[in-house]
Structures are given as C-alpha cells and as structure tokens.
Homo-oligomer: A and B are copies of this chain.
Amino acid sequence: MPLHPTTISRLPTPCLLLDIHKLEANIQRLSERMAKLGGILRPHVKTHKSIDVMRKVLAGGNLKGITVSTLHEANYFFKNGVADILYAVSIAPNKLEQVHQLMASGCDLKIILDSLQAAQFVIQYGKVHAITFKVLIELDTDDHRSGVKPEGSELIDIAKVIDENEGAELLGVMTHAGESYACNTPESRLNIARQERDRSLHAAQQLKQAKLPCPVVSIGSTPTAFAIDELNGITEVRAGVYTFFDLVMAGIGVCKQDNIALSVLSSVIGYQHEKGWVITDSGWMSLSRDRGTSNQAIDYKYGVVCDAEGQPIKNLVVSNANQEHGIVSKHFPSDEPLPDLPIGSLLRILPNHACSTSSQYEHYYVVDGDQVIGQWQRTSGW
C-alpha cells in the first residue's frame, strides 16, 4: 500500500521499519552467490511472510518456488500468485484436508515427512480421496531436529512405501542444517554446509541404487547457503532470514550489523536517572521475547539501540523489557555519560531474531533513510 510521502517522525511507535536498500542488497547478495555456484534458490518466506517482500526476492532471480513454514503461508502466497510451494514441516494428519484443497485449487504444494507412520496416513488419505501427494523425505544431516538418517534403512523403507502405493509420489529428499546457526567461524560453516550437502547427496544415491526416484535434493539454511562452495547434484537451496538478517546472524559472522534491514522504531517515554535507565515504549511485545544472542559471544539483551537514522549508539542496548516498556541502558560499564535523549526521541532497535520480531506486526514501514516510501502487508497465524 503506497503512503503519502512522510518521514519516520510521523509514524506511530512502536512500529517495524524495513530499510529498502539493505533489503535489496541482502537479496542480491544471495542471488549472486547462487548464480556463481549454478544453484537455484527456493527461498523460505517464514521470516517476512509478505508478498511485497517476495516481489523483491523474485526480482533477485535465480529461484524456483518458495518454502513455507505453515499452510497459512502457503494459502496466502498461493492467493498472491506463487504456486510452487514446499511446506517444510512434517505433515500432520489433520492438515491433509487443507493440503488437498490447495492442490485442488491449482497449488503445486509439496509436503515432507520422516516416518513410516506418516507415509501410511498420507497414502491412505490419497487413496481414499483419489489424490497424489507430492512427498519429500526429511533427512537429519546434523543431529539437530527432525528427519531420518541419510545412511539408514528407514529412508529406503519409507521411500519404498511411497513409491509402491497410489496416493503419494516420491519427489526426493530435503534437509535443514539447523546446527549451522551455532557455527561462528567460516570454517565451521563450510564444514556443516558440506556435511548438509554430502549427506543429502548420499541419501539420493541410496535411493537411486534402490531404483527409487529422487529428482529433488533440497538443502539449506542462511548460514550454509552463504558457506557452501559447490552444489553439483543439489537441485535447490533454501534460506530465509538472509532477506532481513538480524543480530544472531551478525553474531556468527554471516552478516554485519550494518546489513540488518529490520528495526523497531521506539519513542523515549521516561527515565530512572539514578539507575542509568532510559525507558521506551518498545517492550517485548514489540521486540519479541527472542533472546537469540544470549548464548553468543556478545549478548545484546533485547537489541542494539540505534539513533533515528539507524546508526548504533555506542554501548547502548535494550537491557530489559516488560510487555510495553523497554529499558535502555549501557551495555558494558563505562564512565561516559548516557547520550541526551529527551522524551519523544526516536530510536531504532536492531532485533535478535528477525523472524520473531517481524511476527509481532501486521505490516512493515518501508524506509529510505528517514523517508517512509511504503507500507507493506505481512501475514501471520496458522
């Protein structure tokens, strides 16, 4: 939705700012990387959940379809013209009816699973309703969360059941190296990226040896997408948070703080001078409860405090937060006085985790410096 031109000083606080230049540069960076490696992106939309952001991602090129974390996202993006969708959370029986409806409406929706039990109820539903679900088997390539072992017999057992029955079609394998979020050196990220790739290729090889189809080998995460050095055999790479970036990604070195496109605009509303506190109207409801940097080398508490122009203010963080109150104070003890921040001063807060912070809002105010150039919708819920 275009706005009459305005500046951020006219916005209500707290609200969510999206820096258009940083967004475009972030998108471009991964697109160029994929182009160089001959890779194809299937970007994850769970960070932005916005068709307006997606249009920028599409403009970046080198991509095919999207990845979603909920069927609500699938429905939203399909209604907004994106048909090729991978729902990247193991399917539950009570979601098949909605998957069916989306497919019947023309959505090219793919689902994932990682157990014989799930394969069986998918096949059963497919047979009863005369529909063929497109299925990828999730692999556990880094001991992080879900998925079957790429080397084990369970992979083949599940694949055979899908391949031999009506109701489902085996598309291939997918994995997400979630452990990469804890890799804070280029070497460790390259290692886990290669492991994610190689164990997925090994699984694909296993399937082919068993005369089972595996046209799709889908891998990815923001850290591994930027680390991987070669993609032969990989048909698609998924990544999401790279569009916005955040303090967690900066903390492990995948981006710099200056690349973070997202911030929360806050107003100063009070002080506790004796304690060295500046109080803002931006508490955890607006920043989210996510404290992703708490186990990183530098804990930025509830976020890095920047001035109204987006420049970090030296040694200032949101040190604590209540529902609608943020407490801004010095990050580390120092003799330097706090900056002068009269009531009403605007601050931009860089978030720990872009996915959780943006989920607290219904829209983004898109900014170019202090000019508000648009208001972009986003969706949420299930």
A residues within 8 Å of B by Cβ? 9, 11-15, 46, 69-70, 89-95, 98, 113-115, 117-118, 121, 140, 145-146, 178, 267-272, 279, 281, 284-286, 288-291, 322-325, 327, 342-344, 355-356, 359-362, 380-382
The answer on a CB contact under 8 Å between B69 and A267 is: no
Q: How far is the CB of A76 from chain B (nearest CB, A)?
A: 14
The answer on a CB contact under 8 Å between A279 and B381 is: no
Q: How far is the CB of A359 from chain B (nearest CB, A)?
A: 6
The answer on a CB contact under 8 Å between B145 and A327 is: yes
Q: How far is the CB of A250 from chain B (nearest CB, A)?
A: 19
Known: A14-B382, A322-B178, A324-B70. A270 touches B90 (CB 8 A): yes
Compute how far the CA of A188 lies from the CA of B140 in the bound complex, rounded to whole angstroms: 49
The answer on a CB contact under 8 Å between A359 and B94 is: no
The answer on a CB contact under 8 Å between B12 and A343 is: no
Q: Across the interface, name the chain B residue whose C-beta is closest to A363.
A: B381
Known: A90-B279, A267-B94, A323-B69. A289 touches B288 (CB 8 A): yes
Residues from chain B with Cβ under 8 Å of A11 in the complex? 94
Known: A145-B327, A146-B279. A356 touches B92 (CB 8 A): no
Compute how far the CA of A91 lies from the CA of B291 in the bound complex, rounded to whole angstroms: 27
Q: How far is the CB of A197 from chain B (nearest CB, A)?
A: 21
Known: A117-B342, A145-B279, A289-B288. A269 touches B89 (CB 8 A): yes
Compute how far the CA of A98 lies from the CA of B146 in the bound complex, rounded to whole angstroms: 48
Residues from chain B with Cβ under 8 Å of A12 in the complex? 94-95, 98, 382
Q: Across the interface, name the chain B residue whose C-beta is closest to A12.
A: B382
Compute how far the CA of A69 lies from the CA of B381 in the bound complex, rounded to whole angstroms: 22
Compute how far the CA of A269 lies from the CA of B92 in the bound complex, rounded to whole angstroms: 5
Q: How far is the CB of A8 from chain B (nearest CB, A)?
A: 11
Residues from chain B with Cβ under 8 Å of A114 in the complex? 270
Q: Across the interface, name the chain B residue whose C-beta is closest to A44.
A: B323
Q: How far is the CB of A115 from chain B (nearest CB, A)?
A: 6
Residues from chain B with Cβ under 8 Å of A146 in the complex? 270, 272, 279, 325
Residues from chain B with Cβ under 8 Å of A380 in the complex? 360
Residues from chain B with Cβ under 8 Å of A268 in the complex? 92
Q: Across the interface, name the chain B residue whose C-beta is closest to A346.
A: B94
The answer on a CB contact under 8 Å between A289 and B286 is: no
The answer on a CB contact under 8 Å between B92 and A344 is: yes
Residues from chain B with Cβ under 8 Å of A322 in the complex? 145, 178
Residues from chain B with Cβ under 8 Å of A290 in the complex? 284, 289
Q: Across the interface, name the chain B residue whose C-beta is closest to A118.
A: B343
Most buried by B among A267, A356, A382: A382
Compute how far the CA of A323 lies from the CA of B286 in the bound complex, rounded to whole angstroms: 18
Q: How far is the CB of A339 from chain B (nearest CB, A)?
A: 16
